[in-house]
Amino acid sequence: MISPAAIRNIMQSHGISCRKSLGQNFLIDNNIVRKIIASADLTESDLVVEIGPGLGALTTEIAHRAGKVIAVELDRGLLAALSEILSGLPNVEMILGDALKIDFDRLAGERTGEEYGSTGKKYKLMANLPYYITSPVLMRLLLGRFNISIIVIMIQVEVAERLAAAPGSKAYGALSLAVQYFAKPEILFRVPRTVFYPEPGVDSAVVRLTVRPEPAAVVCDENMLFNIIRSAFGKRRKTLLNSLTGSALGIDRDTCLSGLRNAGIDPGRRAETLSLAEFASLTNSIIEANS
């Protein structure tokens, strides 16, 4: 059971203080923990990789339901307290490491002795993610094509809205498209700031990303797709013709115009109105017009 008093006691007895720079806001509400765990549909055959176990609020409950947990924590200063908290749980392995650098497939294989790479079994990823690295971690997990089936994360509510946003909405942007290309995002529930110690300045939401077996669109060049999306949203108030030709992409006006026309997209439209399928067809048309 977690509580503000229990967290404070553990921190005091181990001489730990919260490191704001590492996004350390610890969960202190057992109901929210239970709801997060239920969102991952865990069974005894599941391997779960957790990013940022902190003081083990999620780790303990994941360990009760999954076959094995590999918990990757960046802060060496938490490890003594964490191993005390997790001491009765033989199916948890703590790893000192950086989620922005680890090869998760390799880690899963090394720690289980089983194949978890692209041809092997899939695993689940769970995290109450530090706010300061939400997008980079997420993009690393998806672009790295790690063999993950679902990602259940708690993140800042505004970022959650960006992940799940549809064309035409204010939250829709490059992050929405990149994430939706690789996965199906669902905002499951909102979490008030009061369930953390210390209390952060923002509210959170729990999001489940079901990773697609194949990306949601077919393109000749994935890098080109993401470059086009970034350029288009880099100047989101301009028309597509102006934002794409005036960007670092190096596409001249004629190529851009014929790419847009061949894809059936009005050059006067703005990035926020285009679906992923339209961005994909624009990418393929521009590649064709350039060749």
Chain contacts with ligand SAM (rule: CB under 6 A): 22-27, 51-54, 57-58, 72-75, 78, 98-100, 128, 130, 133
Q: Residue 159 CB, nearest distance to ligand SAM (Å)?
A: 13
Phi-psi region of 274 (alpha: psi -120 to 50; beta: other; left: phi over 0): beta
Q: Residue 14 CB, nearest distance to ligand SAM (Å)?
A: 13
Q: Residue 290 CB, nearest distance to ligand SAM (Å)?
A: 38
Q: Residue 193 CB, nearest distance to ligand SAM (Å)?
A: 12
User: Whose Cβ is closer to ligand SAM: residue 190's or residue 236's?
Assistant: 190
As a whole number of angstroms, the distance between CA 189 and CA 191 comes to 7
Name the residue number minimizing CB distance to ligand SAM.
52
CA 46 to chain CA centroid, nearest Å = 19
Q: Which residue has the tokens 């503000």?
A: 4
Q: Residue 98 CB, nearest distance to ligand SAM (Å)?
A: 4
User: Whose Cβ is closer to ligand SAM: residue 132's or residue 254's?
Assistant: 132
Q: Residue 5 CB, nearest distance to ligand SAM (Å)?
A: 15
Q: Residue 133 CB, nearest distance to ligand SAM (Å)?
A: 6
Q: Residue 260 CB, nearest distance to ligand SAM (Å)?
A: 40
Concatenating the DSSP letter of every residue in the chain gives ---HHHHHHHHHHTT----GGGT--EE--HHHHHHHHHTTT--TT-EEEEE--TTSHHHHHHHHHSSEEEEEES-GGGHHHHHHHTTT-TTEEEEE--TTT--HHHHHHHHHSS--STTS--EEEEEE--GGGHHHHHHHHHHTT-SEEEEEEEEEHHHHHHHH--TTSTT-SHHHHHHHHHEEEEEEEEE-GGGEESPPSS-EEEEEEEE-SS-SS--S-HHHHHHHHHHHHHTTTS-HHHHHHTSTT---HHHHHHHHHHTT--TT--GGG--HHHHHHHHHHHHHHH-
Tokens of 75: 């802060």
User: Whose Cβ is closer to ligand SAM: residue 73's or residue 105's?
Assistant: 73
User: Whose Cβ is closer to ligand SAM: residue 73's or residue 272's?
Assistant: 73
